[in-house]
Amino acid sequence: MTQVGHGAARALLRRLAVEQAECRIPSVTAAIVRDGRLAWFAGRGSVDGAPPTAATQYRIGSITKSMIAVVVLRLRDEGALELTDLLERHLPGTRLGHLSIAQLLSHTAGLTAEPPTAWWERTPGIPAADLLERLGPGELKHRPGRRFHYSNVGFAVLGELVGRLRGTTWLKALRAEVLDPLGMHGTTARPRAPHATGYAVHPWADVVLTEPEHDADAMGPAGQLWSTAHDLARWAAFLGGQGGQGSGVLCADTLAEMREPIGVEDGDAWTGGFGLGLQLARVRGRRLAGHSGSMPGFLATVWAEAAEGVGVLFLANTTSGMSPTLLADLLDILDEHEPRLPDEWRPAAADPALLALTGLWHWGPKAYTLRLLPERGLSLEPVGGSGRASRFVPQDDGTWLGLDGYYAGETLRPAADHLDLNTFVFTRAPYDPGAPVPGGAGDWHA
């Protein structure tokens, strides 16, 4: 089950084997996805006396959250809700009604990390109505919108929101709208054979302790699901925009929106953060989106790098002890042995009117270039690389909408002798006196 060469496959297998042996993991599977297809898979250790396969189930914990988030975004795209909606509009009567859906998705609602119950990961869950009744002002730890604070409770609430709006359970909605369309038939709420047993490995001896497994009930949307390497490979391809194109699960623009950073972990420069239901990471020059997961006896992580069309994942049946670099190391090995080839350049047809807009423009004295992108897009970039850069897409009224950067969401209005970008005027020559520069433009002088 590999599309990489022998040398790459051997190096990847060795890195996984070192992880399993040195970190003392009862069993582990890992996979790499490239251009929407499974490129490499391997398993080490033992499940019921045999090596784990791509069909072996492991509990995936909080990766469940990212799947719930997709259903919430589908509801938004259908017009059933807005991300700015307050919870009271859709779940009336809770004491958390002033929190927004976007805040819950991005872990910026200030809500407590864990529910006011017994240790929910190791004990049977309680019904959603009981959980909502227990959630009050005491579970708000920060002012809403103030900071990133990871909350399992927030996704339990979002799961109940999905169930209410769909008129069913969160699990049935997830299966019908996400899992089945993506072909993730090995992803279930409770384990089914073949599945790994969850273990804790003793810190000072080579013995294991079986961890308990329960139905988390109301907390299920925060970490209930079990899955396989086969299914998570499909999920990684979907997150990276390389899989599920014909499934209708989510449009590309919405998926890209989920990958945009909203909250970041505090530090001199952000290396980890959160979008709309997706964890984000900057690792060795890569920009990754996905989610990690942990439940007693299990660890799992899936990352997608949309820019490179690659995804990587692992599933393991251990409570703790995995090295934090495993997946980045696997991607490095792949790049070392089989670096991705750039897409072939091909000439494209261009609208003469758009072609006339390209070239050098000036914002005051500062030089910018306007380039024509594939599929009628425009890119405005500062000469020398220092300054505001954005891409634009055409609108039906002849204007252009900013996609990213400083001008995201802003309007560009081209004219024959200038560009009006949200009141900023760009001219062909620095402060061209023949163009309508606000404030006027006189002659340059010594």
pLDDT at 1: 58
Residues sharing a CB contact under 8 Å with residue 96, sequence separation 6 or more, in sequence order? 87, 109, 111, 135, 139, 140, 157
Tell me what pLDDT residue 277 has. Answer: 97
The tens digit of pLDDT for each residue in 21-68 reads 999 999 999 999 999 999 999 999 999 999 999 999 999 999 999 999
**Distance between CA atoms of residues 263 and 272, nearest Å:** 9
Which sequence spans correspond to the domains of the chain?
6-337, 352-427
Average pLDDT, the chain: 95
Give me the mean pLDDT over the 282-286 stretch.
Answer: 93
Question: What pTM was computed for the model?
Answer: 0.92
pLDDT band per the 50, 70, 90 thresholds, residue 348: confident
- Digit-coded pLDDT (tens) for 399-413: 999 999 999 999 999
Cα–Cα dist 135/96, whole Å: 7
pLDDT for 221 equals 98
Q: How confident is the model at residue 443 (pLDDT cuts 50, 70, 90)?
A: confident
Q: Are strands 310-316 and 27-34 parallel, antiparallel or unpaired?
A: antiparallel
What number is the average pLDDT over the span 203-224?
Answer: 97
pLDDT of residue 243: 72
pLDDT digits (tens, 9 = 90+) for 293-334: 999 999 999 999 999 999 999 999 999 999 999 999 999 999
Closest CA to 61 of 312, 279, 276, 250: 279
Q: Give the 3-state secondary structure of 228-261.
A: CHHHHHHHHHHHCCCCCCCCCCCCHHHHHHHCCC
Contact call for residues 235 and 178 (beta carbons, < 8 A): no
Report yes or no: 61 and 298 within 8 Å, Cβ to Cβ.
yes
CA atoms of 307 and 342, how far apart (whole Å): 11
Span between the terminal Cα atoms of the chain, in Å: 71
Which has the closest alpha carbon to 159: 84, 100, 221?
Answer: 221
CATH number of 6-337: 3.40.710.10
Q: What is the per-residue pLDDT for 394?
A: 94
Q: 31, 32, 61, 33: which is closest to 44 by C-alpha?
A: 31
d(C-alpha 294, C-alpha 194), whole Å: 20
pLDDT at 245 over 70: no
Average pLDDT, integer, range 190-207: 97
* Residue 131: closest CA among 139, 121, 141, 142: 139
Q: Tens of pLDDT along 75-123?
A: 999 999 999 999 999 999 999 999 999 999 999 999 999 999 999 999 9
Phi-psi region of 264 (alpha: psi -120 to 50; beta: other; left: phi over 0): beta
CB atoms within 10 A of CB 136: 12
pLDDT the model gives residue 264: 81
Question: What was the pLDDT predicted at 265?
Answer: 76
* Residue 8, pLDDT score: 97
The mean pLDDT value for 237-247 works out to: 81
Q: What is the pLDDT of residue 244?
A: 63
Q: How confident is the model at residue 246 (pLDDT cuts 50, 70, 90)?
A: low
Beta bridge partners of 45: 27
